[in-house]
Amino acid sequence: MTTKELLYVEDALGHEKYFKTKCQEVANQLQDTELKNCVMQMQKKHEQLFQSFYNLL
């Protein structure tokens, strides 16, 4: 993997970690069950994407 590709993966990891954290924060503040479940699904998706990028390393 080239240096540029590694930098892209590192950047992508940071973005996915940020999105996962934000989804978790928002889900904890929501009271509407349906909306909370939707945000929690988004959190899981970002966790999966994080793991996919991490596994490239």
CB 46 within 8 A of CB 22: no
Region of 45 (left: φ > 0; alpha: ψ -120 to 50; beta: rest) is: alpha
The model's pTM: 0.83
- Can you tell me the distance from the alpha carbon of 18 to that of 12, in angstroms, rounded to the nearest whole number? 10
From first to last of its 57 residues, the chain has per-residue pLDDT tens of: 899 988 998 899 999 999 999 999 999 999 999 999 999 999 999 999 999 988 987
- Can you tell me the distance from the alpha carbon of 11 to that of 4, in angstroms, rounded to the nearest whole number? 11
